[in-house]
């Protein structure tokens, strides 16, 4: 067994504890002096020597400093006096990214790497949460325009490329200055940034350097995105040891390109996450291309012992495998070791390694951090906790979360403890055998079930039965339809891996065999509730399995089945008891059950015999949740509850009585000729009772609850595609065979538009979309508000709607108090921009502010006329094609001659539309636009 005996190419670059007291820039400067003309970075566009790297980083640091001093207040906003604001880097992986990182460390500030492949919303959310002093980028366009709302943007300075001299900074930063902020996944929650100081970064690189014997003759792959933890060691291990780095994106290179890169640059340290390495090995690379590799670094995901043989069929026999386990918070590994082709392995997974110097690890019985807890005996299963003076400093701008996650050692001032959530067994030789995550253990019907163990058993059985050893041949997913139900275990098989099964009958037979074996080996609580087949398991850009996407897919597959099977015999009996408590008349039983079921589903409460007296207080309902509840109830019952008229104090029994007295369900649907779907903004929709009252009785109103689409206010919202998927599913479950009209209110306009286009593609009759004072490109301004910062949907890839769009445009600004009195001011309103994505367009300017215009009488009249195809108050449409320009101009002239101020306001919109189609005529008719605007503003 090889603990740490590296096969170095040359004498390793020396490190001492004193090196940790220098800043990163000082260490690089020391290395650059020794290896000035050696190449530090091999980029696709350039080769950068250490001399050049140091000079350009120094120049860039000076330029950044000059920019920052021009707005000192902004650079310190939301930060403690001793905490310099970070600088964001929106740059592709390559030489410029590395130069910028070094330059920012030269300033004593932390850098925040932003992956250019991130969704626009995530980039904005991270930039805002980090409180970036500025974003450095080489990009231009709408994304950069949106970022400017969050913080200043600096384009990559041309002076760096031209070699312009600037004043070099006089002072060097301390090793205690913050180095970086890396953000963990935030696509389904609030972004969380882990930050580390320069001393911690240097310590991590020193440990890695000594572990594998890094020298100036080494060359590293740079396959990891700079925004993730894996890139720290690639970039800084090279630059802090005089070695070279080859940054490249595997998605761009392809597998052939990866092996060419190794051969062309003589790569000695090949670092890849196991899913990427596994896919690379499966591509059957030419072993002659990989002869230079002396270390294959594998970490970040499971790698099986049986896969070591596959690796050595491709990599040279002298190559060592360096592996271990860590976390961003532990910065980075807390266990590691080296092995080679002769190492004997007795566990299914590669062991996680031995303890690392200056990082104490031991196993305890419970997954609760406790530095004073007793270590369990060797061979037992436990949860690891890590203690060190070099852990990450915590979660950026999250002091409460940091205090919860990191625990100070009572005896050693500088040592803190962290529990990564990994579960192990210590083997007799001191290696840790990885057994899964702490959160992989769940309780089902009171019994503890280990999902990791179920997966391991299934993999072993499939390997024996089918000869298939791929680690992703099947996954066990925990699915819980709602908080009232027990979690269910679902086995998902990968069809592309089990391609030897040619028919569904063979697939079903295999699944049944596995199910029978599981029944003999595990308790009844650990049995599959479903066995599903997926064409190809979803993956993230870094090749890891996308577990959230897989869970969402499982939920979609099972939700309909679940809905048809839930609340069986015992639930039916209890429901009858509840109905008896309400004294429900026989003819009301169906809708009464819907009322009670909606209450239980929405507020996550169980059926109880005393439900008749349930109140808002008992379910902790606020105004938004009450509004959402009635939206959902009305959608299910097909009515419009005037909930403001329900006698107080409110109870569920009074709600039943109120509905029974005021609504005749036998007559409700006879008058309906069209469906109107109202899509709210994520903050909810005010004025719903008035909205209901003003809407024609011939329209079936569907008010989509915010809970059906969005996350709670204050959390990062789902991306647009996820919201649209939810909206389409919601509508398909409720809709009738009638024409559909959409009203997207404020920021709900965009998902409404996308959903309408999607439904059209499915052959559903969608007639018209009303968009409520929100443009198609989203609102970057949301990030200027604490309440709205997590919400933008600034997607610019917008489909074409083959129908009518009516733009509701607020003509006034929101009242702003001046000297204690609210003052309304006129907007310089213009078309919202939907004409570019619709077949026909109409404009409905409203003499009110953004909120008041959304449920104004003018809007309600237009919706009623449109959805009932009435000739009264109908708006005028024109085609968005350029050929319609003459007709639009003539109509605008006609409106200009009218005496009605609202017609003047509409003329403003049509003139703007005309200028968009015929920009060369703007100078001729600009006076007409100005005149219409002046007349309209007389309201």
Distances (CA, A) of 174 to 27, 58, 87, 286, 438: 12, 16, 17, 46, 38
- Name the most confidently modeled range: 71-85, 316-330, 714-728, 866-880: 316-330
Q: Is 823 helix (H, G, I), strand (E, B) or coil?
A: strand
Whether the pLDDT of residue 743 is over 60: the answer is yes
Rounded to the nearest integer, the mean pLDDT of the chain is 84
Cα 821 to its chain centre, rounded Å, is 42
The model's confidence at residue 199, banded by pLDDT at 50, 70 and 90, is: very high
Residue 639 pLDDT grade (very low, low, confident, very high; cuts 50, 70, 90):
confident
| The token pair that represents 604 in the structure block | 């996550």
pLDDT > 90? residue 886: yes
Q: How far is CA 297 from CA 247, 273, 291, 332, 522, in A?
A: 16, 8, 15, 14, 36
pLDDT attached to residue 735? 65
Residue (of 667, 632, 630) closest to 645 by Cα position: 630
pLDDT at 782 (0 to 100): 46
Q: Which of 416, 414, 390 is nearest to 405 (CA)?
A: 416
As a dihedral over the C-alpha atoms of residue 927, residue 903, residue 681, residue 714, rounded to 10 degrees, the angle is: 40
Whether 193 shows a pLDDT value over 90: the answer reads yes
The pLDDT confidence band at residue 1, using thresholds 50, 70 and 90, is very low
Q: Provide the pLDDT confidence category of residue 359 given band limits of 50, 70 and 90.
A: very high
Give the N- to C-terminal CA distance of the chain in Å, as an integer.
86
Question: Hunting for tokens 């330059």 — which residue is that?
Answer: 103
- Residue 891 CA to its chain's centroid (Å): 46
364 beta partners: 383
- Of the listed ranges 420-424, 659-663, 749-753, the one predicted with least confidence: 659-663
* Residues 812, 580: Cα–Cα separation, whole Å: 54
> What CA–CA distances, in Å, run from 466 to 302, 494, 534?
21, 13, 18
pLDDT at 124: 84
Structure tokens belonging to residue 655:
């709600």
Please tell me the predicted confidence (pLDDT) of residue 619.
78
Q: Which of 53-57, 681-685, 796-800, 915-919 has the highest mean pLDDT?
A: 53-57
DSSP state of 574: H
Reported as a pLDDT band with limits 50, 70 and 90, residue 557 is: confident
Q: Which of 546, 518, 535, 538 is nearest to 458 (CA)?
A: 518
The two three-digit tokens of residue 787, written as one number? 């309440």
Q: What is the DSSP string of 223-251?
A: -S-TTSTHHHHHHHHHHTTT-EEEE--HH
Lowest mean pLDDT among 169-183, 185-199, 234-248, 564-578: 564-578
Both structure tokens of 77: 């906003």
Distance (Å) of CA 496 to CA 302, 323, 511, 543? 20, 28, 16, 16
Model pLDDT, residue 205: 97
DSSP state of 221: E
Q: What global pTM score does this model have?
A: 0.67
Residue range 570-596: mean pLDDT, rounded: 73
For 285, residues 6+ apart whose C-beta sits below 8 A from its C-beta are: 255, 256, 258, 259, 314
Q: What average pLDDT does this structure show over 739-753?
A: 91
d(CA 698, CA 669): 9
Q: What is the pLDDT of residue 509?
A: 84
How far, in Å, CA of 790 to CA of 717, rounded? 6
Residue 205's Cβ-side half-sphere holds a number of Cα atoms within 13 Å equal to: 30
Distance between CA atoms of 462 and 510, rounded to whole angstroms? 9
CB contact at 8 A, 490 and 530: yes
Q: What pLDDT score does 133 carry?
A: 93
User: In this predicted model, what pLDDT tens digit does every residue of 276-320 receive, in sequence order?
Assistant: 999 899 999 999 999 999 999 999 888 989 899 999 999 999 999
Tokens of 123: 């980039």
In 3D space, the residue among 829, 839, 833, 814 whose CA is nearest the CA of residue 937 turns out to be: 829
pLDDT at residue 357 greater than cutoff 60 = yes
Looking at residue 189, what is its pLDDT?
A: 46
3-state SS, residue 678: strand
Q: What is the pLDDT of residues 38-66, one digit of tens each?
A: 999 999 878 999 999 999 999 999 999 98
Which pLDDT value is given to residue 186?
Answer: 43
Taking the C-alpha atoms of residue 457 and residue 475, their distance in angstroms, rounded to an integer, is 11
In this predicted model, which residue has the larger pLDDT, 601 or 284? 284
Question: Reduced to 3 states, what is the DSSP secondary structure of residue 546?
Answer: coil
Instruction: Give residue-wise pLDDT tens across range 769-795.
Output: 999 888 887 655 444 444 444 344 556
Q: Which two tokens stand for residue 679?
A: 């899509």
pLDDT (mean) for 639-657: 80
Which of the residue ranges 250-264, 323-337, 778-792 would you say has the lowest mean pLDDT? 778-792
Average pLDDT over residues 600-621: 79
Q: How far apart are CA 475 and CA 547, in angstroms?
A: 9
pLDDT of residue 58: 93
Q: Which of 90-99, 152-161, 397-406, 891-900 has the lowest mean pLDDT?
A: 152-161
**Is cis: bond before 332, omega within 30 of 0?**
yes
Cβ neighbours of residue 920 closer than 8 Å, sequence gap 6 or more: none
**DSSP state string for 418-463:** E---EEEEE-TTSPEEEEEEGGGEEEETTEEEEHHHHHHHHHHHHH
Q: Inform me whether the pLDDT recorded for 407 exceeds 60.
A: yes
Q: Is the pLDDT of residue 736 over 60?
A: yes
Evaluate if residue 583 carries a pLDDT over 80. Answer: no
List the single range of 70-79, 121-130, 627-636 with lowest mean pLDDT: 70-79
Give the model's confidence band at 521: pLDDT under 50 very low, under 70 low, under 90 confident, else very high.
Answer: confident
SS3 672: coil
């Amino acid at each position: 067994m090889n603990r740490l005996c590296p096969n170095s190419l040359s004498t390793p670059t020396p490190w001492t504890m004193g090196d940790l007291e220098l800043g990163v820039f000082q260490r690089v400067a020391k290395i650059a002096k020794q290896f000035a003309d050696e190449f530090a970075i091999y980029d696709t566009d350039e080769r950068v020597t250490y001399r050049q790297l140091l000079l350009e980083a120094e120049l860039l640091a000076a330029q950044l400093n000059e920019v920052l001093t021009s707005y000192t207040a902004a650079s310190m906003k939301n930060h403690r006096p001793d905490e310099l604001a970070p600088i964001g880097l929106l740059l592709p992986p390559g030489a410029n990214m590395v130069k910028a990182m070094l330059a920012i460390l030269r300033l004593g500030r932390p850098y925040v790497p932003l992956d250019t492949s991130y969704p626009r919303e995530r980039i904005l959310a991270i930039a805002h949460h980090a409180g970036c002093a500025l974003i450095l980028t080489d990009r231009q366009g709408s994304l950069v325009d949106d970022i400017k709302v969050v913080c200043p943007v600096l384009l990559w300075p041309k002076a760096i490329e031209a070699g312009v001299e600037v004043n070099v900074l006089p002072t060097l930063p301390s090793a205690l200055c913050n180095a970086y902020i890396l953000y963990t996944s935030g696509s389904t929650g609030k972004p969380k940034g882990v930050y580390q100081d320069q001393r911690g970064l240097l310590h991590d690189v020193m440990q890695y350097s000594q572990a594998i014997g890094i020298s100036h003759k080494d060359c590293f792959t740079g396959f990891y995105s700079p925004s993730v933890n894996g890139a720290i060691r690639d970039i800084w291990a090279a630059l802090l040891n005089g070695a070279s780095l080859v940054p490249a994106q595997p998605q761009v290179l392809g597998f052939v390109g990866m092996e060419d890169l190794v051969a062309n640059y003589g790569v000695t340290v090949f670092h890849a996450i196991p899913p990427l390495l596994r896919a690379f090995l499966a591509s059957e690379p030419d072993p002659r291309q990989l002869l230079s590799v002396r270390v294959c670094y594998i970490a970040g995901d499971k790698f099986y012992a049986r896969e070591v043989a596959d690796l050595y069929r491709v990599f040279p026999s002298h190559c060592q495998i360096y592996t271990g386990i860590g976390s961003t918070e532990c910065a980075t590994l807390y266990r590691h070791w080296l092995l080679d082709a002769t190492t004997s392995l007795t566990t299914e997974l590669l062991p996680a390694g031995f303890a690392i110097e200056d990082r104490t690890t031991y196993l305890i019985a419970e997954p609760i951090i406790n530095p004073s807890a007793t270590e369990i005996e060797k061979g037992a299963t436990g949860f690891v906790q890590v203690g060190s003076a070099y852990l990450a400093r915590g979660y950026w701008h999250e002091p409460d979360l940091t205090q919860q996650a990191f625990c100070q050692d009572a005896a050693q001032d500088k040592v803190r403890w962290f529990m990564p959530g990994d579960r192990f067994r210590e083997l007799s030789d001191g290696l840790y055998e990885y057994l899964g995550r702490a959160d992989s253990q769940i309780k089902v019907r009171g019994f503890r079930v280990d999902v990791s163990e179920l997966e391991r058993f299934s993999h072993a059985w499939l390997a024996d039965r089918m000869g298939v050893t791929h680690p992703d041949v099947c996954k066990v997913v925990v699915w819980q339809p709602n908080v009232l139900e027990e979690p269910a275990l679902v086995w998902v098989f990968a069809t592309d891996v089990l391609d030897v099964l040619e028919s569904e009958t063979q697939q079903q037979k295999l699944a049944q065999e596995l199910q029978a074996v599981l029944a003999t080996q595990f308790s009844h609580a650990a049995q599959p509730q479903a066995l599903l087949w997926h064409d190809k398991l979803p993956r993230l850009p870094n090749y890891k399995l996308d577990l959230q996407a897989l869970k969402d897919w499982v939920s979609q597959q099972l939700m309909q089945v679940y809905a048809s099977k839930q609340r069986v015999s015992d639930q039916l009996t209890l429901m009858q008891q509840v109905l008896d408590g309400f004294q429900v008349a026989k003819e009301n039983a169906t809708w009464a059950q819907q009322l009670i079921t909606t209450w239980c589903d929405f507020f996550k409460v169980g059926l109880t015999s005393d439900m008749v007296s349930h109140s808002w207080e008992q379910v902790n309902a606020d105004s938004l949740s009450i509004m959402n509840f009635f939206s959902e109830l009305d959608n299910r019952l097909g009515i419009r509850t005037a909930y403001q008229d329900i006698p107080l104090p409110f109870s569920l029994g009074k709600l039943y009585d109120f509905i029974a007295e005021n609504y005749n369900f036998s007559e409700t649907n006879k008058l309906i000729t069209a469906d109107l779907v109202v899509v709210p903004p994520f903050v909810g929709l005010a004025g719903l009772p008035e909205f209901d009252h003003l809407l024609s009785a011939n329209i079936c109103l569907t008010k989509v609850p915010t809970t059906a689409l969005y996350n709670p206010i204050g959390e990062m919202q789902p991306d647009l595609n996820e919201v649209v998927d939810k909206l389409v599913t919601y509508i398909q479950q409720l809709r009738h065979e009638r024409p559909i009209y959409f009203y997207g209110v404020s920021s709900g306009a965009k998902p409404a538009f996308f959903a309408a286009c999607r439904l059209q593609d499915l052959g559903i009759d969608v007639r018209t979309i009303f968009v409520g004072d929100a443009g198609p490109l989203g609102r970057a301004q949301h990030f200027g508000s604490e309440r709205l910062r997590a919400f933008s949907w600034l997607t610019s890839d917008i489909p074409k709607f083959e129908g009518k769009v009516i733009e509701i445009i607020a003509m006034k600004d929101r009242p702003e108090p001046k000297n204690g009195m609210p003052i309304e001011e006129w907007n310089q309103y213009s078309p919202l921009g939907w004409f570019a994505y619709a077949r026909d367009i109409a404009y409905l300017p409203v003499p009110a502010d953004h909120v008041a215009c959304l449920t104004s009488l003018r809007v309600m009249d237009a919706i009623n006329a449109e959805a009932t195809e009435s000739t009264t108050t109908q708006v005028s449409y024109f085609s968005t094609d350029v050929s319609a320009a003459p007709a639009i101009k003539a109509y605008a002239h006609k409106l200009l001659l009218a005496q009605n101020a609202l017609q003047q306001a509409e003329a403003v919109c049509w003139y703007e539309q005309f200028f968009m189609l015929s920009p060369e005529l703007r100078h001729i008719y600009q006076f007409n636009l100005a005149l219409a605007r002046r007349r309209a503003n007389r309201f």
